[in-house]
Amino acid sequence: MGPSITDVPKSVLQDVIIKLPTKSIIMCKSVCKTWYSLISDPAFAKLHFAQAEAYPMVRPVDRRSVSRNLYLVEPEDSSGFDLKDHDCNRSRVHMNLSKYKFPLCDAEELLNYHRNGNVMPSHETTRKVHMKITQIDDNNNEVDFGDATAYMMHYDHNNYNLVNSCNGLLCLSYFFGNNPAAVCNPITGEFINLPRGPKHEKAMILIGSGLGFSPRTNEYKVMRILKEQTPDTNKVAEIHTLGTGSWKSVGTARCSDSELSFPTCVKGMLYWFSYDWSCCSVISFDLDTEEFLSVPSVPSGQEDGRDVSMGDLGGSLCLCKVESFEINVWVMNDSGPQKLWMKKISIRTGFSQWWPRGVYIPMKYFENDGLLMFNSRLNAFFYHHPGNHSPFIYLKLREIKYSSTEAISHVPSFISLKDILVGKDVEILNINSRCAVLKLPGETEALSLVEENASF
């Protein structure tokens, strides 16, 4: 019969598979038992994650309906962004959008509804099916919405908000109030529900949350910061370690009353960007010592917090700001005795008032000095390379029926939740096995990227 693909040495096979795009690796599990065993091995998952790169993960957003769709934007091959095509003197984009799933909040309620012979209506229908809907507010109290309709149920009740990404895991929050509710790995399809936080005597409002990783303790932790419904300089901070069954107080956070945005975990620190009409600042929490630490004042020119984003750029905290005719990216340099902000990239747009405004969120910094960002106002990615003949490339999301999209930088991971949880009593659920029978509006849709002229 001759040699077979299964005769390839395991070490060689592993080196080949580990370099494939994430979706291709998942497909390889179906080739044969040998490949399935190799890819399912926790050792393979750790090796893959050690060399995995961060790429954008996109989610369609429309408050009229539930969207469980997530799209990971990866290179189709090793070329990624090929900007040296001398034959046609233009760029070629080799990016692939792979679809994954979000878990559903209160999936059992939806499944029972489906098993009873009901079909979830699309948002265009006017048919009403009455159901009782409850939700948990930020003070851990159950809110009864009374006799609502099935239309209302899929409008918000079973929808999760996306908080942030950390080491291949996504932190999700309830639609109402943004209280942290679940953590999932979209690649493996696993997720866990978070325990309810402690109750408070006074009414509280959540102003910030996020998922982070402590390198010293090798633990994943979820933070939430709440404030009383009265002006107060101190805010209540609580933390939950994944795998345990409770939350604990970690003191107070000194920040403004405004909402904390862009939660970002870098080198064991969890950061938020705080902005109100009087000032803006960066708040930091050390996940190892579980203490709030000071951060240098934001760079000059970024005191105006409008059109500012924050994220992880190549392992460093970064701030991105559109000002005048430039897009400036600052990174936090923590190699010395003191942390300092340093300007890493300055993009001269040169298109004056015609340049698209809005928030540019850094997604990935390439070794060839290319920078990939996302602009939610345009539903498009923006790529810049200073040495390219045409330095500005816009990649517009097409075939999308939702009003907008959101994107975060995400590192795909095959590491199972059971291998990272502290305790053993937490129920690990699976997105695909629990909700595979449900086909909600818009879930069969696909997205594509189309290059557009950046000069508009």
φ and ψ at residue 323, rounded to 5 degrees: -140, 130
pLDDT band at 304 (very low <50, low <70, confident <90, very high): low
Higher pLDDT: 206 or 86? It is: 206
pLDDT of residue 114: 57
Task: Name residue, tokens 């879930």.
Answer: 443
Quote the CA–CA distance of 139 and 291 in Å, as a whole number.
23
pLDDT tens profile 146-189:
444 443 444 445 678 899 999 999 999 987 778 889 999 999 99
What H or E segment, with its residue span, contains residue 315?
A: none
Average pLDDT over every residue of 227-243: 83
pLDDT tens profile 104-132:
776 666 666 655 555 444 433 333 333 34
Domains and CATH numbers, the chain: 1-51 (no CATH), 52-452 (2.120.10)
Quote the CA–CA distance of 156 and 431 in Å, as a whole number.
18
Question: Do the Cβ atoms of 379 and 396 come closer than 8 Å?
Answer: yes
pTM: 0.84
pLDDT of residue 153: 43
Q: How many CA atoms lie within 13 A of 324 on its CB side?
A: 7
Average pLDDT over every residue of 244-248: 90
Quote the CA–CA distance of 141 and 157 in Å, as a whole number.
16
Mean pLDDT for all residues in the chain: 78
pLDDT of residue 264: 95
User: Could you count the other beta carbons within 10 Å of the beta carbon of residue 324?
Assistant: 10
- Where helices occur in 65-147 by DSSP H, the ranges are 107-115
Is the pLDDT reported for residue 84 higher than 60?
no
**Percent of the chain residues topping a pLDDT of 90:** 30
φ and ψ at residue 49, rounded to 5 degrees: -65, -30
Is the pLDDT reported for residue 16 higher than 50?
yes
pLDDT band at 399 (very low <50, low <70, confident <90, very high): low
pLDDT of residue 347: 84
pLDDT of residue 126: 35
**Percent of the chain residues topping a pLDDT of 70:** 71
